[in-house]
Amino acid sequence: MDIEKRILEMLENDARLSAKTIATMLDADEKFVEDTIARLEREKTILGYRALVNWENTEWEGVTAMIEVKVSPEREVGFNSIAERIYRFPEVRSVYLMSGGFDLTVIVEGNSLKDVAHFVTHKLSPLDKVQSTVSHFILKRYKEDHVIFGENEEDKRLVVSP
């Protein structure tokens, strides 16, 4: 389990590491690392490999909103059924069940404010079990998944030192 956890940590940090590099760093057999990764993919522990993009550096001017949603849970399925109805919309990037003053956090992306507003008013709010929504638009991303946006990662050390 320890080596599996370390493989996962390494890939979570840099998905482009090769099995060979990982094997060398962990003192493990390359084939073993390849097989482990394949199994983790099969078991859906590894769900995908993606780039973390800073869209602010591109010409895309889309918007992202974090929406607090209050819903009525249903007998037997609790919040799962309504969560499913929400997360199937392609506009929805993430959905989390929350403790506290509301039930679901829904992260929605759109090309414009109008797009997101349209989604909330026409698709999300009218859903049967949705009681209320509060939309917060994201103004600036400072950090995501441990990565600080726009941080100067230049090596500030002297090039040679004793």
Partner 1 sequence: MNSMQKYVAETVQSLKPSGIRKFFDLVSQTEGVISLGVGEPDFVTPWHIREACLYSLENGYTMYTSNLGLPELREEISNYEKRAIGVEYSAQDQTLVTVGVSEAIDIALRALLEQGDEVLIPEPCYVSYAPGVLLAFGKPVALSCFEEDQYRLRPQELAAKITPRTKVLILAYPNNPTGAIMEKEDLEALTEIIIKNDLIVISDEIYAELSYNTTHCSIAALPGMYDRTIVMNGFSKAFAMTGWRIGYACGHPDLIGAMTKIHQYTIMCAPIMAQKAAIEALRHGETEMRKMVADYNYRRKLMYNGLNEIGLTCFEPQGAFYCFPSIKITGMSCEDFSEKLLFEEKVAVVPGNAFGESGEGHIRCCYAASVKNIEAALEKINAFVNRHC
Q: Which of 124, 129, 46, 126 is nearest to 80 (CA)?
A: 129
Binder among 3, 26, 63, 127 for partner 1 (CB under 8 A)? 26
With respect to partner 1, which residue has the nearer C-beta, 58 or 161? Answer: 161
Structure tokens given for 111: 């090309």
For the sheet with 104-110, list strands across it: 92-97, 104-110, 63-71, 130-137
52 touches partner 1 (CB under 8 A): no
**112 — phi, psi (to 5°)?**
-150, 165
161 touches partner 1 (CB under 8 A): yes
- Minimum distance from residue 25 beta carbon to partner 1 (Å): 4
154 touches partner 1 (CB under 8 A): no
- Minimum distance from residue 104 beta carbon to partner 1 (Å): 32
With respect to partner 1, which residue has the nearer C-beta, 8 or 127? Answer: 8
Site string for partner 1, 83-122 (x = CB under 8 A): ----------------------------------------
51 touches partner 1 (CB under 8 A): no
The alpha-helical segments, DSSP class H, found in the chain are 2-13, 19-26, 30-42, 80-87, 113-119
Sign of the torsion angle spanned by Cα atoms 142, 147, 152, 157: positive
14 touches partner 1 (CB under 8 A): yes
What is the Cβ-side half-sphere exposure of residue 113, based on CA atoms within 13 angstroms? Answer: 5
25 touches partner 1 (CB under 8 A): yes
Most distant CA pair in the chain, distance: 68
17 touches partner 1 (CB under 8 A): yes
Residues forming contacts to partner 1 in the complex (CB under 8 A) are 10, 14, 17, 21, 24-27, 155, 157-162
